[in-house]
Chains A and B, each alone.
Chain A
Amino acid sequence: AQKITQTQPGMFVQEKEAVTLDCTYDTSDPSYGLFWYKQPSSGEMIFLIYQGSYDQQNATEGRYSLNFQKARKSANLVISASQLGDSAMYFCAMRDFPSSNTGKLIFGQGTTLQVKP
């Protein structure tokens, strides 16, 4: 069965420093995608970054990068130069791509990040 695990319930980081949020996954499908979402205290889910299982390079989007280690089944999010506005809950999610292709996501438990001034 598919599973996403985020082992860090809460993290602190000093403003302007980099931080890594951990995510491990389990699937038997060869074709899958990994997503990271940010949820500020206002509640909306904001898409940050995507990595496909066949992508050769690690995904990057501005200050966000995804450290994808396929053999280890990990997809850690790296936020560089943290800002106060990065304080939020972060979710890792996985989607497989079977023929039905429903687009269903399986989410991890989430990690709360607090950026200190």
Chain B
Amino acid sequence: DVKVTQSSRYLVKRTGEKVFLECVQDMDHENMFWYRQDPGLGLRLIYFSYDVKMKEKGDIPEGYSVSREKKERFSLILESASTNQTSMYLCASLTPEQGSEQFFGPGTRLTVL
């Protein structure tokens, strides 16, 4: 059974803290993605990676960075958390064949106080 796991379901952090969100997939997928989900806005792409150590900015990369040191793991980093980064964060992975769907993790609901 394919699986994408995220390190936490719920996280509460303080403004200014450095925050790490971890995502691991066991499907040997090349591509991994980080999205944030906000009411009325759907899912928006923050960053994605198409290979180890390779990354590209998505639509809303400001305030975030990522790391992909191993194929199965993709980390999202909030260098200095702010209240406007309170959101649901979803990780996904896929093998980029036509028609293949993205597999999503369970999500991390982050609250920044």
Please pick, from A44, A47, A97, A107, the residue contacting B101 in the complex, using a CB distance under 8 A.
A47
Please encode chain B, from 11 to 48, with 1 for each CB lying within 8 Å of some chain A CB and 0 for all others: 00000000000000000000101010000111111001
Q: List 13 A-B contacts (CB under 8 A).
A: A4-B42, A42-B106, A43-B106, A44-B105, A44-B107, A45-B104, A47-B102, A91-B43, A103-B96, A103-B100, A105-B45, A107-B44, A108-B42
A residues less than 8 Å from B101 (CB atoms)? 35, 47, 50
- A residues 44-81 touching B (CB-CB < 8 Å): 44-45, 47, 50, 52
Across the interface, do B33 and A44 meet the contact criterion of CB distance under 8 Å? no
Interface residue tally on B, bucketed by range: 20 to 34
- Chain B positions within 8 Å of A, measured between CB atoms, are 9, 31, 33, 35, 40-45, 48, 50, 56, 58, 88, 90, 92, 94, 96, 98-107, 109
Across the interface, do A103 and B102 meet the contact criterion of CB distance under 8 Å? yes
Please encode chain A, from 91 to 109, with 1 for each CB lying within 8 Å of some chain B CB and 0 for all others: 1010001000111111111
Q: How many residues of A contact B (CB 8 A)?
A: 26
A residues less than 8 Å from B94 (CB atoms)? 103
- Inter-chain CA distance A108–B42, complex, in Å, is 6
Interface of A, helix, strand, loop or mixed by DSSP: loop
Nearest B residue (CB) for A47: B101
